[in-house]
Amino acid sequence: MSETPNVPQPETEPGVATAEDGVVMLDGPDGVAVTMTASAAAQTGESLVSAAAIAQEQQSRMDPET
């Protein structure tokens, strides 16, 4: 008997970023928490925005009716 692999599904809830004592904290769904320097947070934010734009373009190519 073969088992179906448990494939992670993409998260639909956004994380929330706050700044305190000179660092940025990102609280995400399911208890995910990350603390970053301001520089790391800015670079992460830029990377996320870029990746999101690419993913949206990919989605619209897969489903042109949306």
Whether pTM exceeds 0.75: yes
Determine contact, residues 35/22, Cβ cutoff 8 Å. no
The strand pairing partners of 18, in sequence order, are 25
Q: Which residues contact 60 (CB under 8 A, 6 or more apart)?
A: 66
Residue 66 has pLDDT above 60, yes or no: no
Q: What is the pLDDT of residue 35?
A: 98
Cα–Cα distance list, 26 to 2, 10, 31, 59 (Å): 38, 17, 10, 26
pLDDT at 1: 56
* Ordered strands of the 23-27 beta sheet: 16-20, 23-27, 33-36
What is residue 61's predicted lDDT score, i.e. its pLDDT? Answer: 92
Each residue of 1-59: pLDDT tens digit? 567 678 889 999 999 999 999 999 999 998 999 999 999 999 999 999 999 999 999 99
